[in-house]
Structure 1
């Protein structure tokens, strides 16, 4: 199926076919493949394959902001929010595991052997979620099953698939894109995160208008939102199953052609080559890139632990703030959109207390402080609550995030990515500090609450225009092919640890979720500190992936006209990572620092 499907869906893109004319000279075949990729410009087929998978995972990840209030209304009685946080914690923790494990497997066994597996996991877990129930219930409220346990179980499985998609989508985009379009390609893939989030809200609003507000109808709603996410997953799966192996992995790992080997002589990344390392041209070398000695040499002796540390810490600090603001979206935004303190009865349920909706008239019945005139909770408010949650998120977060993503796609080669990451971290710190300093003066102070909403809009824009996109891009560029997915998975998993940590913090500070509490401002201060630390990590530890353009970087367009290159051009993947100060063994058995000359094209 693989070869036939690859030749049909990917004509002239199979790396083995592109090198067929060079006989046993694998180095020349590799060079021809890379030249073909560089000449392809922005490859839309590659983009669809990478982006479709990431879209489905983003949709499923952020659909939690739509379905959690519905689950709370139908199944979770009481005022506690611990079940919602458990839902988020298991998803994020499983996602971190999926990022690390599948990143390693993608390097160990090849990209192609994993194409589609992560999407199959998402599809299976989606079907499992749709079938969750309490089973048979008797008159005493006893159940044969526990729906909460089943939801957590299937959400954990889904989290594994969601996490697995990160290294695969990013590395597919990086390894199949031309040098010129690489940054724009990966940024465009990440556009699927805010787009997937927006589509989750759109699906929720559509279902809300189609169904009613009874518990049966709201139960249908969350299942509809979850189930519809399987359809784009099936589309993405169709593309993945017929995709050929990454050409870079084929030549640089399976055939073990050194990145700087132009004549097919070298077969190892080591500087010295023994006779055992010189194999017949075209013969595949054993895939042994995970020998501890090689990893130790790359990370410690060559100094690239700094690259892994920098990308990982930037991602952790970013996700601590991003998921702290975004994964408890309904309750946080409800606080911001409310112009005055709210009054609720003591037994108000979680879904209503965190909504900011207290007074309304529905079907001619007046509701005051979330209750009917007889003092009972106004369940009919649930439709208004769910609609308000989704519309607030669209207006405050989704639109701003999409604009930020579009802008960074358009300008990705106009700026140095390392500097841009540092600057946008600093800008976020300034905005978060301003929001912290003014929070008490604006929170529930009549029309002044609009200023707080604007702070959130700016923060959402800067996340997408800066760190949230750039932490996704840079790890896919900087590491060599034989370790790219593994180290990308490590960086992404450490980022998700930041997301898990902030959920634990919120769990232990319950006042953050209270509608009239201003405790969230202290979270804003902690997020600002994280952004400052992120800027420092970016400045000192994140490596360069671009260089300033020169006259040799000018290109001819399709009409034959010479056009100047943008201010910065991407360094080819085969030249990354740039050497750092290395530790070389000294004559006395110790170590001495040595400078390695930076490679240039």
Structure 2
């Protein structure tokens, strides 16, 4: 049976939107800005790394990273993110959200700088060092997912909670956009400063020595927003739900929230007396499996499927744009110019579809609900993927390339006005406070497992680059077409599994997780203990 919430939690649920809510969005969101910048800027510089460190000695074509090296450079950060989500998600429930929050940020700052300073006496040494620091950078990024989502969900009121959590995640769009813009500015500046010729022969001659500075500057820039946010993260109080429900200090929770929300919250007893709470089960218990097992399966599997498609599209969009001729052939450009064109294409996609998609979710999630947006997003991504793949030869003609880019951009729009946002929001709302950060971390780690599949396996196998290069009769675009078909199938499966995701719109966190329920026997015992017994 249900019992009343603590007053501090009820006050949080009905609190009016205040300045502190927006401050929390910015503080938590800057972590996601940095996360996205660091994760996606690597896709901009992989071709540059290939031309610098793996140039063709015969000069017959520009250098490129071997497929295994390219997969490692693109995917190693996801391996670190996967580990960080599991570890920091668990730690956030054990030590508190705030105590762990600053650690993740400092790891990101240090490793962003270290990635740009990667060293070695040979190309393999430089790449190995880069991969080492990118792994630990991903480890810090991973911690930001469960902690930021949990903190924002526990600060927000139930009427606008979805919009607040989605707004934190929407900063990822600005991070992707910033990555493209920084790459454009740096590459344009170097190209002008060193007067690199617009056309250069393929191979080492087309890569000026200064190009080695370009990718390092781009990577190190990711440390700046994270460093600027550290002080404000340390000023945030612990969330009231952690303090009251896990630390069992409702009086302190009321005092903390009274200060930041500028509302009068009545002080509760200093320590909560133990109650026979029906929600006191552990993560590995049968009761958790009965109550939340299907929910955890739904959040994990939908995030896994979504990230196969989403990260594959982002990491390999430069190959798709090259295949349809939107980016000129590498042999017609020097290395810095190629970076410029890749960055310009990614920035245009981010500006026109990725960023708007995130903010459509922010504006509509508390009106339409999480379930409707997720199913719609997966469904539209499925439609557009098949619409691109089935008549693929039609889109490769010069006259139809603009149409291809528009439809390709729409898949990003509905990814973000869809499951890319909702898979982040829902796990922060439906699990008990004691397990919320852990369950969100597991769900997010499942997503990164999908990203690893895309980076290491799926597109690496599907594009068949080596066969296209060695077999003149092999269709050059068939790998891209097969990839799009497979991504369409994955999105369709995500649509089906989304039917298992519960709707949390307008409900309190305790209502969704069942934390305001107690056993009948425990309730009766509590009532008896509250009665005055005459002496």
Aligned pair partner of 2:410 in 455, 458, 479: 458
1:536 counterpart residue number:
496
Task: Determine if the alignment matches structure 1 residue 239 to structure 2 residue 215.
Answer: no
Match of 1:447 in 2: 399
> Is residue 147 of structure 1 aligned with residue 126 of structure 2?
yes
Distance in 1, matches of 2:477 and 2:364, equals 40
* Cα separation, 1, equivalents of 2:278 and 2:239: 16
Aligned length: 462
Q: Which structure has the highest helix share of the two?
A: 2
- Cα distance in 2 for partners of 1:231, 1:531 equals 35
| Cα offset, 1:318, TM superposition | 0.6
Q: Does 1:575 align with 2:511?
A: yes
In structure 2, the CA distance between the partners of 1:285 and 1:226, relative to structure 1 (3 Å rule), is: farther
Cα 1:180–1:149 shift into 2, 3 Å = same
Matched, 1:63 2:41: yes
1:22 is aligned to: none
Deviates more, 1:204-213 or 1:241-250: 204-213
Distance 2:137 2:238 in 1: 25
Partner residue in 1 for 2:180: 201
1:296 paired with 2:248, answer no
2:152 aligned residue: 173
8 A Cα contact 1:334 1:389, kept in partner: no
- For residues 37 and 231 of structure 1, do their structure 2 counterparts lie closer, same or farther at Cα, with a shift above 3 Å needed? farther
Tell me the TM-score normalised to structure 2 length.
0.81
- Provide Cα deviations, 1:61-111, integer angstroms capped at 9, x if missing partner: 111122222222222234433212111221111111111111011011111
Higher Cα radius of gyration: 1
- 1:469 aligns with one of 418, 421, 427: 421
Give unpaired runs (5+ residues) of structure 2.
56-62, 197-206, 251-267, 470-475, 516-535
C-alpha separation in 2, matches of 1:576 and 1:324: 33
The one-character-per-residue Cα deviations of 1:377-427 (angstroms, maximum 9, x if unpaired) are x7x622321111111112234421111112221212221211221122112
Distance 1:500 1:185, change over 3 A: same
**Partner Cα distance (1:241, 1:305) in 2:** 34
Q: TM-score, normalised by structure 1?
A: 0.72
- Quote how far apart the aligned CAs of 1:293 are: 5.0
Once residues 178 and 530 of structure 1 are traced to their aligned partners in structure 2, the CA distance between those partners, rounded to angstroms, is 34
Contact (CA 8 Å) 2:462, 2:482: kept in 1 or not?
A: no
Distance 1:512 1:402 in 2: 31
1:132-173 Cα offsets, whole Å, 9 max, x none, are 1224xxxxxx68x81111101000010101111111111111
Partner of 2:202: none
In 2: Cα distance, 1:468 partner to 1:530 partner: 14
Paired with 1:384 and 1:164, the residues of 2 have a C-alpha distance of 35
Measure, in 1, the Cα distance between the counterparts of 2:465 and 2:365. Answer: 37
Shift of 1:306: 0.4
Deviation at 1:119, TM superposition (A): 0.8
What secondary structure does 1:244 align onto?
A: coil
Equivalent residue runs for 1:110-149 within 5 Å: 110-135=96-121, 146-149=125-128
Secondary structure of the corresponding residue to residue 166 of structure 1: helix
Question: Do structure 1's residue 317 and structure 2's residue 287 form an aligned pair?
Answer: no
2:170, 2:355 within 8 Å by CA — same for their partners in 1?
yes
Matched ranges for 1:109-508 at <5 A: 109-135=95-121, 146-212=125-191, 213=196, 215-255=208-248, 281-283=269-271, 293=282, 295-302=284-291, 304-338=292-326, 356-357=328-329, 370=331, 381-443=334-396, 445-503=397-455, 504-508=457-461
8 Å CA contact 1:95, 1:159 repeated in 2:
yes
Q: CA deviation at 1:192?
A: 1.0
Aligned partners of 2:339 and 2:282: how far apart in 1? 55
Structure 1 pair 483–36 and aligned structure 2 pair: CA distance change class (3 A): closer
| 1:202 shift after superposition | 0.8
| Higher RCO (C-alpha 8 Å, min separation 6) | 2
Evaluate the alpha carbon distance shift between residue 396 and residue 512 of structure 1 in structure 2; reply closer, same or farther with a 3 A threshold.
Answer: farther
- Report the CA distance shift for 1:228/1:175 in structure 2 as closer, same or farther (over 3 A): same
Q: Which residue of 1 aligns with 2:483?
A: 523
Quick one: structure 1 residues 237 and 284, their matched pair in 2 at CA, closer, same or farther if it must change by over 3 Å? farther
| Contact persistence 1:316–1:499 (CA under 8 A) | yes
Q: Over aligned residue pairs, what C-alpha RMSD do you find?
A: 2.7
In the aligned structure 2, how far is the partner of 1:34 from the partner of 1:55? 31
CA–CA distance in structure 2, aligned partners of residues 195 and 211 of structure 1 = 24
Q: Kindly provide the CA deviation profile for residues 309-356 of structure 1, in whole angstroms up to 9, marking residues without a partner as x.
A: 001111011111111111123222222344xxxxxxxxxxxxxxxx54
Distance 1:493 1:193 in 2: 17
CA offsets per residue over residues 515-568 of structure 1, 9 Å max, x none?
9322211111111111111111111x111202xxxxxxxxxxxxxxxxxxxxxx
Match of 1:264 in 2: none
d(CA) in 1 for partners of 2:381 and 2:113?
A: 39
Distance change >3 Å, CA 440–CA 285, structure 1 → 2? farther
Residue aligned with 1:430, SS: helix
Could you tell me how far apart the structure 2 residues matched to 1:187 and 1:453 are?
26
Shift of 1:509: 3.7
Deviation at 1:30, TM superposition (A): 4.1
Post-superposition shift, 1:295? 3.9
Contact persistence 1:337–1:453 (CA under 8 A): no
Shift of 1:289: 12
State which drifts further: 311-320 or 70-79. 70-79
Question: What secondary structure is seen at the aligned counterpart in 2 of 1:487?
Answer: helix
Distance change >3 Å, CA 29–CA 457, structure 1 → 2? closer
1:545 equivalent to 2:504? Answer yes
Distance 2:146 2:133 in 1: 22
